[in-house]
Structure 1
Amino acid sequence: MRAGAKPRVVVVGAGPAGIRAAETLVRGGLTPIVIDEGERAGGQIYRRPPQGFTRPPAALYGSEARKAVALHESFDAMAAAGRLVHHPRSSVIAIAKGRLQIADGASSRWISYDRLILATGAMDRIMPVPGWENAGVYGLGAMQIALKAQGAALGRRLVLAGSGPLLTLLAVQLLKAGAQVAAVLDTASMRQQFHGFSGLSARPLFALRGLMMRRRLAGLYHAGVRLDRIEADERGPVAMLWRDADGRQQRTACDAVGLGWHLRSETRLADLAGCDFAYDEMWRQWLPTADAMGRSGPGVYLAGDGLRILGADGAEVAGRLAAAACLQDLGLPAPDMAADRRRLGRLSRFARGVARAFPWPGEAAAALPDETVVCRCEGVTAAALRETVAFGGGEVNRAKSLGRVGMGRCQGRYCELAAAEIVAASAGYDCAQAAGRLRGQAPVRPAPIAALLQDAIADG
C-alpha cells in the first residue's frame, strides 16, 4: 500500500454479493474499484436490459422486483457520487503478484490491489446429453439472459431439461412471457426431492413459492426422467427422446433445448489467487475454502455463489460479510455481523436441502454412451476420454493433456464435472473426487490476441 493512500480494495463482480460488498466498504470510508463483465450492475439474477428497454421490473424479476431495483439504485448512486470506481464490460483474465490483468475490448491493463474480494457468481452446471453439441441447445442461464436482456425466447417450441430451482423458474418465466414450452424434464425423482425437504424448510416461504410455480406447469413437468438423446437436423433440435419415471420411451418435438443441473461456482479466479480447494461431496464439486467471513488467503476474500451456491439472498449476506472482514483486517471500523452470520447459517441449510433434492446425476454422466460429445469446444467424445485413462492414470489434468478435454474456449467450465465422472468411473474409482480437478490458468476468459500481446501498463 502506498504511503498516505487509502487501501485499494478491488471487488470483482457486480451482482448481489459485489454490490453489498461495495456498500459495506463505502460505509467504512473506502472507495472500492468494482470490475464487472456486464454493462450495468446487477449480475445474472438481477440482470438489467439495455437502456430504453420498456418492460417494467415486475415483468423481469417477478416477486424480486423491489429488491432488484433497490440494488440497482444503490450501486448507481454510489457510482454517480464517485464513492466507487466502476469498470463495466471488463474481464479479469489473470492474477499475479497483487495485480489483476483486465481485458476491455482489444486492450488490457493491470490494476494493483491491497485487498481483493471475488464475487464471481455461478454458471450453469451442465451434463452432456447425446446431441447437445448441435446448434439450438443452450444452458438454462443463457435462455434466461435472452429473456431478461432482450425479452426473447430462444426457440418457438422449447424443451427444458435438467434439475434444480432454475428449471422450474425459467419454465414459468417463459410461459408468462408467451413462449411455448413443450416439456420440463427433471432428472431428480420425487423421492429425491422429498428427501431434501428438511433443508428446504429452512426457508418455508421460498419453498412454498417454488411449489406454487411447479403447480403452474401442470402436465408439462415430469420428474425422475432419463434423457436419452436430442434428435437434430442441419437446423438444430427436432425432438428430445427421454424415458419417464416408469421407464417408458417418450419423444417430445421441439426446435430448441435448454439444459441445466442447478449451478456451479465460478472458481477460476479463486484458483489463480491461490485459494485452497476441497471436494464437496454433496455438490460433487471442488470448491474454494474460506472462513465464516469469507477470508480465503492473504488479502483475498470470497463472497456469493463463487464460494458456495446460496442464491441471491445468501450472496447479499456473504458480500457484506466479506467486506466487513476486509475492513477488520485493515484495522478500519466494521459493522457487527452477528445477525448476518446467523442468517447465513439458515441459508446454508436451505442450500444443502436443494443439493439433496436436486442431485447432480453423476452415475448418468459416468455411463454416457461412447459416441457422446463431452467437450463441445474440442469435440472430445466419451470414448476418447475413456481411452486416456490407460495412459493418464485416471486424473483429469492428464486426460486434458492427452485428449484435449477442457482445452477449448470455456476451459472446462461446461465439461469438467462430467469428464471427472467419466474418468473416475473408467479408472475404477468410487468417487469423482479421486480424478481431481482441472487447474486454473490464465487467461481465464477468452481475450483478443491484441489484448494479450500488447504491453499492458500498470496503474500503480
Structure 2
Amino acid sequence: MTMAAERKATVIVGAGPAGIRAAELLAAAGIRPVVIDEGLKAGGQVYRRPPQGFGRPAEQLYGSEAGKALALHALFDRLVARGEVEYYPQSSAMALADNVLQVLTPAGRREFAYDRLILATGATDRLVPLPGWQAPGVYSLGAMQIALKAQGVALGRRIVLAGSGPLLTLVAAQLLKAGANVVAILDTASLRNQILALPGMMARPALVLRGLAMRLKLGRLYRAGVTLTDIVSDESGPGAVRWRDAGGCDHHTECDAVGIGWHLRAETQLAGLAQCSFDYGPGWAQWLPRADRMGRCMEGVYLAGDSLRILGADGAEVAGRLAASACLADIGLPFPDPARDLRLMARYERFARAVASAFPWPVDMIRSTPDETMVCRCEGISAGDLRRSVDYAGGEANRVKSMVRVGMGRCQGRFCQLAGAELISAHVGIPVCDVGRLREQAPARPLPVGSWISEA
C-alpha cells in the first residue's frame, strides 16, 4: 500500500560513515532527518554489522578500525533511541522526481517528500570482464568480504583473489586471518607503479604503514604486475585461473572459488535520477558527479562519501559533515566552521589520487578482451556482440545500449558500463570520455512488481 508523502523533510539515503555523520550534525542543529538504508543495521559496507548472536569480536571483524566502527554504531543507535532521526532500515530508494523519493520498505512502498536530500549511497565493486567470470563460484571482492563479515564464511576451500587496489590486499589479509585457504593474490598493478605513487600516498602515512604491514603478511602469495588470461570453469564452477607474471611466464593456479575487483566505482544511480551533472575523471577512470567542495550537487541535493569521490571510510565521515553543513547553511541555520574538514578532505583527495595512480584501471587488458568473453552478464552480451553493434550504432554508449541491450539488465550497467566504454572507445578510436555514460532508469534496483502497484 502506498503511503502518501505528508510533509517535507531532510532525507539522507545511506547509513554508512557519511550518512551517520550527516545525521549527527543535522540532529545537533535541531533537524530530525529521515535516514533510509538498505542494511539491517547502520554501518555501511566497511563497518557492516553482523547479525545478532554472531560470535566474532569487533577486533576480528574490523581490525585496526574496530574502535571507529563501534563508535559510529553507538552514535547512530543513540540518535535512533532518542528519536533524533527517523530511521528506515532494510529499505531501498528506488526512484525520485519532483522532490519526492520513492522507497521500498519492509512494510511496502512509501513516498518521502523532501526539501533537502543527502545521498550517501557508497560504492560498489569495479569489475573487469574475464573469460569465465560468469561461472558460479566467481565473486566480487566485496561479496567475499560481506560473507566473511556478516556470516563468518569464506567462499571457497581453495581461493584465488585477483584485481587491484587496496581492497585486494585487505580482503586477502582478512581471509587469511580467518583461516581461509587463499592460494594466490594476483594484482594487475605493477610494483613500479605502486612505488612511484608512494610519495603521494604519504599524505596518510599511518594508513600506508598499515597497508604495507598487511602486504608483508601475504608473503609469496602476492604477485604484482600480472596479466589475467582466463578463469577455467564449467557448470560446477571455477577449476583454475590462468595468468601471466610480470616476466611473461604463464601460470595455472587451481582453485574452486575466485574473487575479483579493481578498486571501487561510485554508486551514482540516484544522483543521475536527481539530474546531477557528471564529469569523467581520467585518474579515477569513471564518471563522477559534479559538486562543490561542500558536496552541493544542485539545489537541495547534496552528495557525500564514496558516491561522490572514492576516499574511504575516513573521507566519508568528513564528507558527511560537510554535506550536512552545506545543508544547514542553505536552510539558514548555524553550522560548524568547515575549514578543518576542508583541509582534511584535500589531504584525503591527494591520497586517493595517488592510490588511483598506484593501482590503475587495466585499460590494455580490457581492450584486448576476446570476442567470446561475456561483458554484460545480465543480458548475455559478449565483447564480440558489443564490437559488432558499434559498427551500426557508432561510439555512443546509449546508442550501443539500445542496439545490443548492454547495461539493460538487473545491474543497470553497474558491472559492465566502464569496461564496455573501453571496448567501444578502442573499437571506434575515440577517447573513452567521448563514449558517454549510460542514462539512469528507475527503479534503481530490481523490485517485486506487486510492491509498486498502488491500491485504488
Question: How would you bin the TM-score normalised by the shorter chain?
Answer: over 0.9
1:33 aligns with 2:34: yes
Deviations 1:350-392 (A, max 9, x none): 0000000000012211210000000011110000000111111
Q: How does 1:295-314 map to 2 (within 5 A)?
A: 295-314=296-315
Letter in 2 for 1:302: L
Look up the match of 1:65. Answer: 66
Deviations 1:377-416 (A, max 9, x none): 1110000000111111111111111111111110010000
1:350 aligns with 2:343: no
In 1, the alpha carbon distance for the partners of 2:102 and 2:9 equals 15
Deviations 1:108-150 (A, max 9, x none): 1211101000000001000011100000000000000000000
Look up the match of 2:219. Answer: 218
1:163 aligns with 2:140: no
In 1, the alpha carbon distance for the partners of 2:161 and 2:261 equals 8
In 2, are the aligned partners of 1:107 and 1:454 still within 8 Å (CA)?
Answer: no
Q: How does 1:116-265 map to 2 (within 5 A)?
A: 116-265=117-266
In 2, the alpha carbon distance for the partners of 1:203 and 1:6 equals 43
Secondary structure class of the residue paired with 2:296: coil
1:12 aligns with 2:30: no
Deviations 1:396-453 (A, max 9, x none): 1111111111111100100000000001111111x21111111111001011111222
TM-score scaled to structure 1, two decimals? 0.97
Secondary structure class of the residue paired with 2:171: helix
In 2, the alpha carbon distance for the partners of 1:213 and 1:311 equals 17
In 1, are the aligned partners of 2:8 and 2:112 still within 8 Å (CA)?
Answer: no
Letter in 2 for 1:155: G
In 2, the alpha carbon distance for the partners of 1:136 and 1:454 equals 39
Secondary structure class of the residue paired with 1:389: helix
In 2, the alpha carbon distance for the partners of 1:377 and 1:8 equals 36
In 2, are the aligned partners of 1:106 and 1:451 still within 8 Å (CA)?
Answer: no
In 1, the alpha carbon distance for the partners of 2:410 and 2:441 equals 12
Secondary structure class of the residue paired with 1:92: strand
In 1, the alpha carbon distance for the partners of 2:455 and 2:90 equals 20
User: 1:156 Cα deviation (Å)?
Assistant: 0.5
Deviations 1:286-337 (A, max 9, x none): 1101000000001000000000000000000000000000001001111111
Look up the match of 2:397. Answer: 396
TM-score scaled to structure 2, two decimals? 0.97
In 2, are the aligned partners of 1:90 and 1:102 still within 8 Å (CA)?
Answer: yes
User: 1:192 Cα deviation (Å)?
Assistant: 1.1
Runs (4+) of structure 1 exceeding 6 A deviation are: none
In 2, are the aligned partners of 1:134 and 1:236 still within 8 Å (CA)?
Answer: yes
In 1, the alpha carbon distance for the partners of 2:451 and 2:361 equals 37
In 1, the alpha carbon distance for the partners of 2:44 and 2:408 equals 27
Q: RMSD across aligned C-alpha pairs, in angstroms?
A: 1.2
In 2, the alpha carbon distance for the partners of 1:97 and 1:213 equals 48
In 2, the alpha carbon distance for the partners of 1:25 and 1:242 equals 50
Letter in 2 for 1:377: C
Deviations 1:48-85 (A, max 9, x none): 00111121100100000000000000000100110001
Q: Which stretches in structure 1 are left out of the alignment for 5+ residues?
A: none
User: 1:454 Cα deviation (Å)?
Assistant: 2.6
User: 1:105 Cα deviation (Å)?
Assistant: 4.5
In 2, the alpha carbon distance for the partners of 1:415 and 1:241 equals 22
Q: Which stretches in structure 2 are left out of the alignment for 5+ residues?
A: 1-5
Look up the match of 1:97. Answer: 98
Secondary structure class of the residue paired with 2:131: coil
In 1, the alpha carbon distance for the partners of 2:342 and 2:162 equals 35
In 1, are the aligned partners of 2:11 and 2:35 still within 8 Å (CA)?
Answer: yes
Look up the match of 2:441. Answer: 441
In 2, the alpha carbon distance for the partners of 1:404 and 1:276 equals 24
Deviations 1:265-303 (A, max 9, x none): 000100011111011010111110100000000100000
Secondary structure class of the residue paired with 1:185: strand
Secondary structure class of the residue paired with 1:296: strand
Look up the match of 1:112. Answer: 113
Secondary structure class of the residue paired with 1:442: coil
Look up the match of 1:266. Answer: 267
In 2, the alpha carbon distance for the partners of 1:382 and 1:104 equals 37
Deviations 1:180-218 (A, max 9, x none): 001000000011112211210100110011111100000
Q: How does 1:67-82 map to 2 (within 5 A)?
A: 67-82=68-83
Look up the match of 1:454. Answer: 454
In 1, the alpha carbon distance for the partners of 2:30 and 2:107 equals 34
| Number of aligned residue pairs | 451
Q: How does 1:284-433 map to 2 (within 5 A)?
A: 284-429=285-430, 431-433=431-433
Letter in 2 for 1:437: R
Secondary structure class of the residue paired with 1:156: coil
User: 1:106 Cα deviation (Å)?
Assistant: 7.7
Secondary structure class of the residue paired with 1:110: strand
In 2, the alpha carbon distance for the partners of 1:196 and 1:128 equals 26
Deviates more, 1:355-364 or 1:65-74: 355-364
In 2, the alpha carbon distance for the partners of 1:121 and 1:155 equals 27
Look up the match of 2:3. Answer: none
Letter in 2 for 1:401: S
